Amino acid sequence: MSKRKLILTIAGTTLVASGLVAAGWFAGWFGDPVFTDEIPAKRPPRLDHRELEAFSGQSIPQIIDTLLAEAAEREKAPALPEAAADPPLLAMLPDAPLPFPHDATPRDPEGLRKFVTGMQRGDQEGGPSPAERWQFNLALAALHVDPSEIPEAIRLETHPAAESETFPIRLVARDHELVGPLALGSFFGDDSPAIVARGGSALYSLLAEGAMQAHDALAEVTPGSGLYPGDFDGDLDTDLFITRRDGLPNSLLRNDGEGRFEDVTIAVGLLSFNDTTAAVWLDYDGDGRLDLLVGSRDHPLELYRQTSEGTFQPVAWDLGLWVPRGVHTIAVSDFSGDGHPDFFLGIEGRPDRLYLAKPSPAWDGWRVENVAAASGVDRGRSGTAHFFDFDNDGRPDLLLAPATPTRTMAATKTTAATGTTSTAAEEPAALRLLHNEGEGRFTDVTTGTGLGDLAGVTAVSIADLDNDGYEDLLLGTAPLAINRVFWNREGAWFREVTFVSEGAYLDGTVAYTVADLEGNGTADILARDHTGRVRWLEATGSRHRHLSVKVHHAPPGFRLVLSVRDKDWVLREIERRPGLDGVATIGIGQADVIERLSIFPPEGGEALHTLEKLPPNEAVVIDLPQPAPQPTVSPPEENPSPAAP
């Protein structure tokens, strides 16, 4: 054989061998495959196949006990949610918002005095950093030192004046025993709200005047990092999906309506061993049954379709929905208005994605399409997302907070009035408000609505604090930075009311849960901080009216439309899209009468139910007929090739 032929033969053999190795690697011959952003041509193998085989026949509690025992033997920290540590200063300050009231007592006065003395004696070469100045001023404010006694060179504003003389709401703190993560729902089969706390291991019913009664139905549940309530079996009580991190299996708990729960995770096909970070219930195919979208740090995004038998079937790959790993944020809303849920994804280290549902009467034509680039949503890397209709035009808008590391105050730039911080090397991206223009297009209106330059946001939520019919904003921040409150001015702009509302707490808030827990028309805000503590604030002082609505058997994504008339005989419409529980408290301003309340299906069309001439400040319960089984677009036994991504 000639030298040339020998070289060609070796090269050809090498290429074939390389192809076989690559194929074998993807197929799992030499270990688990490494997925890329390109959607696989064949259904991808499960990365947790070894765990599925090893734990076959065991229950979820048995599996968790085994995994925790193995972790302990390896001297590895158990994969359970652990409370983060507060900055030392935060634990010394009064448990009150800024400006600290005169009767607010520091939790550790002696510690505060030592903190101040230590900073005064410390090495201040080059002068104190902005973060150190802020902490110094906070400590002196907690000790009720007059600001005029602080040298002007290091003085920062800890006694700001109220931003508004007309905003009536005060966020009043309430005593309670709750620890997060939290979930709200009808866990006892009636229309009264109940609370699941401690990551799914504690259950409370609400009694008169906000008192709580503890129940032991969930005492044996291993806590999770995320709680996602939803009535997946359609029996009018709330079930619960619990997510866990670091390979511990998730749990789906079926509620019997009496406050008793059964773990049906394995029976319905949801057993997995992922580092689960986010989940959401949705009815993606409009068949009346809730499906489940689950994201994780280390496994591909999965959409589980609920079958007519009540089991769950993975279909993300079939729909061309492919994210190999790193999903940490999911927000769902029918922003296109076609009756099918669309959704937003925040992905670690990658641009945001916005998926538009593309339904089809045939299974092989059904898909979802990433429209982030065309809609203008892909220019950020968001850690928090929230859909809400800030201007009441009937289209859900999108509020995005950037994915930034949790900061204390050890940074190099501080805004004196708010305590927000950033590093010198990298300015954190700011909050963005995107207005839904229709047809899948969004316009950035952040600056024009008064929300520009809001950095360091760690959590967002909405609540109509004053019941004027426009939803206001709650923004969480890092520890020792001030949480923010913004008043929606009739959908045109937002005015900050952090201090006048007494909402300027310094907690490192990471999540909000908002509901009218007592049915009195006022918003209850459960703010969970980075340690798991929960602050319960009630929005008191509203002079406006409201209507409380509970709808049974409503299709997921349904719309409530109120026509209200005020004392000047001006008629306006307010539209809301309640959550899966069918509950909404809707502010109606100074309206004297609710001319009409209509319930519309997600896709619009004829109203499902209409009530007329309702008085304000009432609670309405509407029982829709039990929906008939809907035709379903089912995947065949042999899964087809995926739709084009």
29-65 confidence digits (pLDDT tens):
556 788 998 999 999 999 999 999 999 999 999 999 9
Place of tokens 């620890």: 179
Rounded mean pLDDT of 267-295?
Answer: 95
pLDDT exceeds cutoff 60 at 530: yes
Residues 403/406/408/413 CA torsion (nearest 10 deg): -20
What is the Cα–Cα distance from 164 to 611, expressed in whole angstroms? Answer: 37
pLDDT at residue 534, as a whole number: 96
Place of tokens 């459960």: 526
User: Residue 109 has what DSSP assignment?
Assistant: H
Neighbouring CB atoms inside 10 A of 165's CB total 6
Tell me the residue ranges of DSSP E strands in 15-139. Answer: none
pLDDT exceeds cutoff 90 at 6: no
pLDDT at residue 645, as a whole number: 40
User: Residue 384 has what DSSP assignment?
Assistant: E
Please tell me which residue, 446 or 7, carries the higher pLDDT value.
446
Tokens at 280, concatenated: 């959401």
| Backbone phi, psi, residue 207, to 5° | -105, -170
Please tell me which residue, 150 or 497, carries the higher pLDDT value.
497
What is the Cα–Cα distance from 288 to 556, expressed in whole angstroms? Answer: 7
For residues 561 and 598, the answer to whether their CB atoms sit within 8 Å is yes
Rounded mean pLDDT of 264-289?
Answer: 94
Spatial CA neighbour of 287 closest among 256, 259, 310, 261 = 310
Burial class (CB in 10 A: 0-12, 13-18, 19+), 403: buried
Spatial CA neighbour of 181 closest among 405, 400, 431, 459 = 459
User: Residue 520 has what DSSP assignment?
Assistant: S
pLDDT exceeds cutoff 60 at 303: yes
pLDDT at residue 377, as a whole number: 87
Rounded mean pLDDT of 554-563?
Answer: 91
pLDDT at residue 122, as a whole number: 59
For residues 420 and 396, the answer to whether their CB atoms sit within 8 Å is no
pTM over cut 0.85:
yes
Banded pLDDT at 629 (limits 50, 70, 90): low
pLDDT exceeds cutoff 70 at 3: no
pLDDT at residue 425, as a whole number: 37
pLDDT at residue 570, as a whole number: 77
Please tell me which residue, 436 or 4, carries the higher pLDDT value.
436
Please tell me which residue, 360 or 323, carries the higher pLDDT value.
323
What angle, 0 to 180 degrees and rounded to 10, lies between the N-to-C axes of helices 109-121 and 130-142? Answer: 140
Rounded mean pLDDT of 637-642?
Answer: 46
pLDDT at residue 404, as a whole number: 63
Please tell me which residue, 14 or 186, carries the higher pLDDT value.
186
pLDDT exceeds cutoff 70 at 164: yes
| β-pair type (472-477, 559-565) | unpaired
Banded pLDDT at 408 (limits 50, 70, 90): very low
Question: CA torsion sign, 201 to 204 to 210 to 211?
Answer: negative
Banded pLDDT at 287 (limits 50, 70, 90): confident
pLDDT at residue 18, as a whole number: 45
Rounded mean pLDDT of 428-448?
Answer: 90
What is the Cα–Cα distance from 133 to 158, expressed in whole angstroms? Answer: 11
For residues 542 and 612, the answer to whether their CB atoms sit within 8 Å is no
Banded pLDDT at 610 (limits 50, 70, 90): very high
Tell me the residue ranges of DSSP E strands in 125-265. Answer: 170-174, 183-185, 194-197, 202-206, 212-215, 226-230, 239-243, 251-255, 261-263
Mean pLDDT of the chain: 86
The distance in angstroms from the start CA to the end CA of the chain is 48
What is the Cα–Cα distance from 614 to 622, expressed in whole angstroms? Answer: 13
387: enclosing H helix or E strand: strand 382-388
Please tell me which residue, 15 or 120, carries the higher pLDDT value.
120
Tell me the residue ranges of DSSP E strands in 389-523. Answer: 397-402, 413-414, 421-422, 432-438, 441-444, 457-463, 472-477, 484-489, 493-496, 509-515
pLDDT exceeds cutoff 80 at 216: yes
pLDDT exceeds cutoff 80 at 409: no
Banded pLDDT at 78 (limits 50, 70, 90): low
Spatial CA neighbour of 518 closest among 597, 381, 422, 619 = 619
Please tell me which residue, 4 or 556, carries the higher pLDDT value.
556
Tokens at 457, concatenated: 């946001």
